[in-house]
């Protein structure tokens, strides 16, 4: 589903990603772990073409998000074409990014209506079904300011699902939440993980990663240091840097 090959990204003299290669199979749940500044979020944003890369390639089911191949070269797409392809990848951000002037339901149906994917009645029916799925049927008319952080993040997840993306990306989805609200968001993501969706999750919740992921990737200083099944990487890591991280977060 996701193929990352030889990706490199730098800001000036600072390498953020260095020769990253990773394959995510359809229906697989991959957890990206590492200290702050290790390149996890940059890699996630590059998958969605919110960050461009200097070298290498990223494809979703064989297609580039921000480029098209002509012969042996890649050419950057126009912004409207990038946006059209980006709908294949849903993204849930740390800080929810809901429209403050729209209700929960309106936030969810905004994209399907703007892209003419559904009539208003169809979009509203789907939106209500998604709110029910994330446990917020009684909050459809509430504005973001009237919702807790956990509720806002669950609306953000429903919004990401509204376009029926091939892949869902989560960028530390619980990092902005009070501890007592973390569980309600992780429960929704856990349900998605068990539903056969392809998920890539940046998280510091090691126990959660162990429970839901099929594959764990540990990054350090922009490099993949270690990757494999969660039982091995999290319980018997082969690299000292992985063990140092686990000792720090657990």
Q: How many domains does the chain have?
A: 1
Task: Centre a 10 Å sphere on the Cβ of residue 230 and count the other Cβ atoms it contains.
Answer: 19
Q: What pLDDT, on the 0 to 100 scale, is given for residue 249?
A: 86
For each successive 10 residues of the chain (250 residues), what is the average pLDDT?
Answer: 95 93 96 94 94 91 84 82 87 94 98 94 97 97 97 97 95 91 94 93 93 95 96 94 90
Q: What pLDDT, on the 0 to 100 scale, is given for residue 65?
A: 86
Kindly list the distances between the CA atom of residue 21 and the CA atoms of 7, 14, 209, in Å, as whole numbers in the listed order: 7, 19, 20
How would you classify the pairing of strands 198-202 and 2-11? unpaired
Q: Which domain holds residue 159?
A: 98-164
Asked whether residue 219 is domain-assigned, the answer is no
Contact (Cβ atoms closer than 8 angstroms) between residue 35 and residue 202: no
Q: What pLDDT, on the 0 to 100 scale, is given for residue 74?
A: 79
Token representation of residue 7: 């990706």
Q: What distance in Å separates the CA atoms of residue 208 and residue 211, rounded to the nearest whole number?
A: 5
Asked whether residue 157 is domain-assigned, the answer is yes
Q: Which residues contact 212 (CB under 8 A, 6 or more apart)?
A: 29, 31, 189, 190, 193, 194, 201
The residue among 62, 90, 66 whose CA lies nearest residue 77 is 66
Asked whether residue 119 is domain-assigned, the answer is yes
Instruction: Give strand pairing partners of 217.
Output: 32, 227
Asked whether residue 231 is domain-assigned, the answer is no
Contact (Cβ atoms closer than 8 angstroms) between residue 237 and residue 243: yes
Q: What pLDDT, on the 0 to 100 scale, is given for residue 81?
A: 83
Asked whether residue 132 is domain-assigned, the answer is yes
What b/e sequence results for 158-192 when a residue is b if at least 16 CB atoms lie within 10 Å of its CB, and e otherwise? Answer: bbbbbbebbbbbbbbbbeebeeebbebbbebbeeb
Asked whether residue 223 is domain-assigned, the answer is no
Asked whether residue 124 is domain-assigned, the answer is yes
Q: What pLDDT, on the 0 to 100 scale, is given for residue 132?
A: 97
Asked whether residue 129 is domain-assigned, the answer is yes
Sheet containing 63-64: give its strands across. Answer: 14-24, 2-11, 55-60, 63-64
């Amino acid at each position: 589903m996701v193929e990352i090959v030889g990706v490199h990204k730098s800001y000036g003299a600072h390498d953020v990603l260095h020769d990253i290669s990773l394959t995510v199979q359809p229906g697989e749940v991959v957890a990206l772990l590492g200290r702050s500044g290790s390149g996890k979020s940059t890699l996630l944003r590059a998958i969605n073409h919110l960050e461009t890369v200097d070298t290498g390639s990223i494809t979703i089911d064989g297609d580039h998000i921000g480029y098209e191949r002509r012969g042996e070269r890649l050419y950057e797409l126009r912004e409207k074409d990038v946006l059209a392809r980006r709908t294949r990848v849903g993204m849930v951000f740390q800080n929810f990014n809901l429209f403050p002037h729209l209700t929960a339901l309106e936030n969810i149906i905004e994209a399907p209506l703007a892209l003419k994917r559904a009539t208003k009645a169809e979009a509203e029916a789907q939106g209500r079904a998604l709110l029910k799925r994330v446990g917020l049927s009684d909050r459809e008319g509430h504005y973001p300011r009237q919702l807790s952080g956990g509720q806002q993040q669950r609306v953000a997840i429903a919004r990401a699902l509204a376009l029926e993306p091939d892949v869902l990306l989560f960028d530390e989805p619980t990092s902005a939440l009070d501890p007592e609200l973390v569980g309600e968001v992780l429960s929704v993501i856990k349900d998605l993980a068990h539903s056969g969706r392809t998920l890539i999750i940046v998280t510091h919740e090691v126990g959660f990663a162990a429970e839901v992921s099929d594959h764990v990737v540990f990054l350090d200083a922009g490099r993949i240091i270690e990757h494999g099944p969660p039982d091995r990487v999290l319980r018997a890591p082969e690299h000292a840097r992985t063990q140092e991280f686990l000792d720090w977060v657990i």
